[in-house]
Structure formats: C-alpha cells, structure tokens
Amino acid sequence: MATTLAADRFWVDKANCHNAERQYYELLSKEMDGITTLTATPASGEVLDRVAAIEKDNADLRKLIESLRSVCLETQSRVTALEKKVNAELAGKTVASTSAPAPASNAAPAKAEADDDDDVDLFGSEDEEDEEAARVREERLAAYAAKKSKKPQIIAKSSLILDVKPWDD
C-alpha cells in the first residue's frame, strides 16, 4: 500500500508535459511572427491611392469651407453697414418729425393735466400708502405685544393615561 502512494507522488509524464508546453509556445511564436511580418510589409498601392484621394478631398473641403466663411463675413459686414444706414435715416426722420409739430403739441399736455384729477395713478409710486400701511402694521404689532404681555404664563402640566384591559377577551 505504501508503494502505491509513492508511485502517485512521482511525476512520470514530466518530460511529455514539458514537450507539449514547448510545442504550444513555438506555435504561438510562429503566429506572432506572421503578424509582425504583415505589419512590417509596406501598404499596398491601392491603399496608398485611397489615402491620397481622401487627403485631396479633405484639402478641397477645407478650401470650400474657407471660401464660404469669407463670403459669410462679407455678407455680415454689408448687413451691418445697411443697418447703420437705415438707423441713421430713421434717426434723421424722428428728429425732423419731433421738431416740426412741437408747437402744436403744447396744447395737448395742458388738456392732459386737466384730466389728471381722477386720483388714479397706475404707474406712479404709492409712497404715502406704503408709509401708512407700515404705520398701521407697527401699531397692530405693538397692540399684540401688549396684549400678550398681560396674559399669565402657562405652566406646563403632564398627564398620564393608562388603558387597562381585562385578560379574558
């Protein structure tokens, strides 16, 4: 029985395992050599022609984009000049229109001042009302504080309620 255990611990196939491992790694290295030779070979003429065509198209597109950019900038400067011209013409017309009818408009404000008696000021400030509202609020707060100070302080009381039920339900 001791001899069978001794035989089990002895590695008889060690040489075979090492040979199999060596062959496996040799196979892997041959495959890697094939890959390195593929990467080391220069690209074919067809691929180089395609790359050159793509680079040429890229350069043409860059030129086209640059020309479109210059056209856009030129158009923008023309529009800006036209806007300035139109604004100057409109400003000249408004100055001319305000200077001519000025004597006729003096009668209209006098009539508008007479109509201002209705005491409704939609866009004016309501400072008087704000001050009055603040004064009323302060009076109410003072009255509340005085009323609260007259009340006696409540002493906290605790209560404990026990709900006892019979055992036989």
Q: What is the pLDDT of residue 53?
A: 95
CA distance 64 to 71: 11
CA distance 106 to 37: 99
The residue among 72 and 97 whose pLDDT is bigger is: 72
CA distance 64 to 164: 95
Average pLDDT value for residue range 36-65: 85
Q: What is the pLDDT of residue 21?
A: 94
Q: In the chain, where are the structural domains located?
A: 1-41, 43-95
CA distance 71 to 73: 6
Lowest mean pLDDT: which of 3-17, 50-64, 73-87, 116-130?
116-130
The residue among 119 and 47 whose pLDDT is bigger is: 47
- Whether 35 shows a pLDDT value over 80: the answer reads no
Counting DSSP H helices and E strands in the chain, the numbers are 6, 0
Q: What is the pLDDT of residue 54?
A: 96
Average pLDDT value for residue range 131-149: 91
Q: What is the pLDDT of residue 20?
A: 93
Q: What is the pLDDT of residues 82-122, one digit of tens each?
A: 999 999 988 888 766 665 554 544 555 555 555 555 666 66
Residues 56-59: contacts with CB under 8 Å, at least 24 apart: none
Provide the token pair at 75. 């158009």
The residue among 126 and 26 whose pLDDT is bigger is: 26
Q: What is the pLDDT of residue 120?
A: 66
pTM of the predicted model over 0.75:
no
